[in-house]
Amino acid sequence: MDRQVRGLHILIVEDNIVNQKVAQRLLEKNGFRVNVVNDGKEAVEALINHSYNLVLMDIQMPEMDGIEATVAVREMEKGTQNHVPIVALTANNAKGMKERCLNAGMDGFLSKPLDMEAFLKVVEKILF
């Protein structure tokens, strides 16, 4: 793994506690700093209060889903130089889902469960 990738601060947005723990452990084991929130509303609040190098965003969540949260984040970024990369992490691979995510302002799309090799390829493509 590229040393530049290690140490990145990642926000995981996921409502399922098992998925949260699996993704968090996998990322931390590979040298990433990780915070976890439960839904899109918490993600928007976290992004207001903290700086992250990358967001892994589930799509289907209560309160505020990943698409709505991404749109809200992109609205907050308007008129600034800020752009936090947001990558969909979802089990929903229905036809057109990837396009919906990208059209909402996401920078990438990954399927669950999180595959470290695919994740690193997406991260390197987005950040470098």
* Among the listed residues 9, 74, 8, 7, the one whose alpha carbon sits nearest the alpha carbon of residue 40: 74
Kindly state whether residue 101 falls inside one of the protein's structural domains: yes
Confidence grade of residue 54 (pLDDT, cut at 50, 70, 90): very high
Q: What domain range includes position 91?
A: 9-127
pLDDT for position 88: 95
pLDDT tens readout for residues 84-127: 999 999 888 778 999 999 999 999 999 888 888 998 888 888 87
Kindly state whether residue 4 falls inside one of the protein's structural domains: no
Token reading at 66: 């990943």
Domain count of the chain? 1
Kindly state whether residue 36 falls inside one of the protein's structural domains: yes
CA dist 57 and 87 (Å) reads: 6
Kindly state whether residue 69 falls inside one of the protein's structural domains: yes
CA dihedral 46, 111, 59, 122 (to 10 degrees): 50
Q: Supply the CATH number for residue 81's domain.
A: 3.40.50.2300
- Name the amino acid, one letter, at 61: M
Confidence grade of residue 2 (pLDDT, cut at 50, 70, 90): low
- Enumerate the H helices of the chain as residue ranges: 17-29, 40-49, 66-77, 97-103, 116-127
Kindly state whether residue 3 falls inside one of the protein's structural domains: no
54-57, strands of its sheet edge to edge:
33-37, 9-13, 54-57, 86-90, 108-111
Global confidence as pTM: 0.92
With H, G, I as helix, E, B as strand and everything else as coil, classify residue 57: strand
pLDDT tens readout for residues 15-33: 999 999 999 999 999 889 9
pLDDT tens readout for residues 36-49: 999 999 999 999 99
Kindly state whether residue 30 falls inside one of the protein's structural domains: yes
With H, G, I as helix, E, B as strand and everything else as coil, classify residue 66: helix
